[in-house]
Structure 1
Amino acid sequence: MEFIYEPWPWYVSGPLIALTMFVLLFLGKQFGMSSNLRTACAIGGAGKVSDFFKFDWKSQRWNLILVLGSVIGGFIAANYLSNNKVKINEDVALKLNSYGIESTQQAYLPTEIFSTESLSDPKVLAILIVGGFLVGFGARYAGGCTSGHAISGLSNLQLPSLIAVIGFFIGGLVMINFIYPLIFG
């Protein structure tokens, strides 16, 4: 039973993702998380304001269940199926320590940014709000999120998804190497 507490190797998790994608493709479905934001807005009545939200959201119930399962599964995994041994590269931990983020070996998410106490800091709150807006805008502008493009789009051999994934990687590299040091340095 010890294997369930450790991260699964690529040769186990990769085929499981491939199997999931095969089943979704067979059923005519596409995997992605950001499309649920559109569905949630449609459920909330946003179709009265914008035609973009006028669609049969009931056909997307399966995807809402997927998101709910991801949230519940993540909670269970983090709280009951984890040995709480955070393994982060020592060079990365040292770099984060130089920015004042010292909880890298104790938590999956740095408590200096993601704890409830941090939300009283206007700088952290602004970073989370602006970052959330940019991620939401980027997912909508790119026609999907990282999971939708990188898992579903690439498995369908879609060129726009390949371009989006390359853009995600470039954006991540720019963020962590140039913008992150400006914010926290």
Structure 2
Amino acid sequence: MEFILQPWPWYVSGPLIAIVMFSLIYFGKTFGMSSNLRTLCTIGGAGKYSDFFRFDWKAQRWNLTVVLGALIGGFIAVYLLSDHRPIALNPQTVADLSELGFKDAGQSLLPPEIYDWDYVLSIKGMGILIIAGFLVGFGTRYAGGCTSGHAITGLSNFQLPSLIAVIGFFIGGLLMTHFLLPLIFG
């Protein structure tokens, strides 16, 4: 039981991801979460306003099970397979986050300084959500897919555009961590 309550090591989770990828390749499918948003928008009638949303969404129904699986898997991981111990963060990371105003860094996956409703519903919190949502949506469309689609599907299919996109994701993450996060919370 102790194994189940710990984060799964790479030698368990990696092969599971590989099995999923081989299955998708076998059935001629590609994986990506952002395509689900396009499908949901199309189901909601967005095709009336943009040609991008005019496609046969029924052919993508299988991919909506990925969203359902992520929701169910997340629920199971948090409520059934978690021992709720603090996250093992590097002490320097904890010190850096404390300097930015994050109390009890590593005590939860969702720090209240970002995810608490009081913060989310503030002007600053709403501004960050709107700007971040726009940037993620724009970036996903501009890059032709999301991080999971490029990093998992694209790289496993040896696609050069996916390699370039993943390098860009990492550069963006580094810029956010070292420059923008201190500006926002410092």
Distance of 1:69 and 1:166 partners within structure 2:
28
Q: What's the CA shift for 1:117?
A: 2.2
2:78 corresponds in structure 1 to 78
Amino acid at match of 2:88: K
TM-score (norm 1): 0.96
- 1: CA distance, partners of 2:111 / 2:181: 14
Q: Quick check: 1:51 aligned with 2:51?
A: yes
Q: Residue in 1 aligned with 2:144? A: 143
Q: Where in structure 1 do 4 or more consecutive aligned residues deviate above 4 Å? A: none
Structure 1 window deviating more from structure 2 (1-10 vs 112-121): it is: 112-121
Ranges in structure 1 where 5+ consecutive residues have no aligned partner = none
The 2-side partners of 1:142 and 1:103 are apart by 36
Query: Which residue matches 2:22?
Result: 22
Equivalent AA in structure 2 for residue 79 of structure 1: Y
Deviation at 1:145, TM superposition (A): 0.5
Contact 1:103–1:112 (Cα < 8 Å) also in 2: no
RMSD: 1.1
Structure 2 equivalent of residue 115 of structure 1: 116
The more displaced of 124-133 and 58-67 is 124-133
TM-score (normalizing by structure 2) = 0.96
Percent identity between the two aligned chains: 64
Pairwise CA distance, 1:4: 1.1
Question: Partner of 2:64 in structure 1?
Answer: 64
- CA distance, structure 2, for counterparts of residue 173 and residue 91 of structure 1: 16
Aligned to 1:163: 164
What CA distance in whole angstroms lies between the structure 2 residues aligned with 1:143 and 1:163?
Answer: 12
CA offsets 1:6-29 (integer angstroms, 9 cap, x no match) = 111111111111111000100001
Counterpart-to-counterpart distance in 2, 1:58 and 1:120? 36
How many pairs does the alignment contain? 185
